[in-house]
Amino acid sequence: MKKLIYSILTILLLVNLVGCSKEVKNENNLKNIDFILDWTPNTNHTGLYVAKEKGYFAEAGINLDIKLPPEDSSAELVINNKAPFAISFQDALASKFAKNAPITAVATIIENNTSGIITPKKLNINSPKELENKKYGTWNDPIELAMIKNIVETQGGNFNSIELIPNTDSNAITALENNLFESAWIYYGWDGILAKNMNLDYNFFYLKDYSDELNYYSPVIIANNEYLKNNKEEAKKVLQAIKKGYQYAIDHPEEAAEILIKNVPELASQREFIIESQKYLATQYATNKDKWGEIDSTRWNKFYNWINENNITEDKIGENVGFTNEYLK
């Protein structure tokens, strides 16, 4: 999912967010800790709201203050020590880790990469090779285009035959319905379920089914390194509470969806869609809920090694750089 433009929100966040080390308590004597989302609240974030609703943070003496992101800046706020936690994506973090940004991925929200390519069913596109000579709606991101090139050429297709159309719509389904392009990269848990909920006829295939390197972690929770160093036990409390929230969402997807809607009332008009999305993600957060959030080093390194081999970032990303499972155990 791409970032919304919040110019006013950006100003408010930069003015009001304080450094990670400053302790601020609310009227209930809970420590306020800022947590920046990557996008408007959705089913990727349900475990956070469940943890708040169920009192898991309060039990740990914490009030997690969930905030919307400024445009493209959730990771930047954490890098600059303006917030201790945020949500990002392993692919989006590549350029930051290549420059030794002082952040660490401390948990993955979803176990496997649920993104892939969606196309109108009438086009009968069932594999990457069949994207040849079709219009693809692109975000013009170097990693995105390299991934599409990878899966097409792995199947013997001609990537250069694909017509790249700029995708300026936050909703790929609308653009596809308006025939602006014939294929797009989406996350199935949101746009895929949305298309299904709208009874639209589409085909979909996952990136990870065509390239092991592309089964990267998306999304992930990141934290500021200085904060982690100075607040190790507190960070563990935050992550343990979040873990409990997602474990509850795995076991109770419909209730979890209702908790999300309660906390984000603007989603109420999409209740059926939100519930269906939540049911899908409940099967994707973790195959073993006791290991929710844990990052496998082999998969993490495989993706960044692929980034290095394709010279996508100016500097190379080192082995085992940028993640830890320490705060989940």
C-alpha span between 220 and 223 (Å, rounded)? 10
Contact 323/105 with Cβ under 8 angstroms?
A: yes
C-alpha span between 129 and 9 (Å, rounded)? 42
Q: Computed from CA positions of residues 24, 5, 138, 44, in that sequence, does the dihedral angle turn out positive or negative? A: positive
Q: Which two tokens stand for residue 278?
A: 């939540």
How far lies 34's CA from each of 62, 136, 137, 196, in Å?
10, 37, 34, 35
What CATH fold (topology level) applies to the domain 115-214?
Answer: D-Maltodextrin-Binding Protein; domain 2 (3.40.190)
What CATH fold (topology level) applies to the domain 7-111+217-328?
Answer: D-Maltodextrin-Binding Protein; domain 2 (3.40.190)
Q: Tens digit of pLDDT for each residue in 79-138?
A: 999 999 999 999 999 999 999 999 999 999 999 999 999 999 999 999 999 999 999 999
Mean per-residue pLDDT of the chain: 92
Residue ranges covered by each domain of the chain: 7-111+217-328, 115-214
The residue-averaged pLDDT of 220-225 equals 98
pLDDT of residue 72: 60
Domain 7-111+217-328 matches domain 115-214 at the CATH topology level = yes
pLDDT of residue 17: 45
Residue owning tokens 């409940």: 282
C-alpha span between 132 and 29 (Å, rounded)? 59
Strands (E), 54-102: 62-67, 85-88
Q: Tens digit of pLDDT for each residue in 178-210?
A: 999 999 999 999 999 999 999 999 999 999 999
Model confidence at 170: pLDDT above 80? no
**Percentage of the chain with pLDDT > 70?**
91
C-alpha span between 300 and 97 (Å, rounded)? 12
- By DSSP bridging, strand 183-187 and strand 135-138 are parallel
Q: Tens digit of pLDDT for each residue in 18-64?
A: 444 445 566 578 999 999 999 999 999 999 999 999 999 999 999 99
Q: Is 298 helix (H, G, I), strand (E, B) or coil?
A: helix
Model confidence at 142: pLDDT above 90? yes
- With a CB cutoff of 8 Å and minimum separation 6, the contacts of 72 are 3
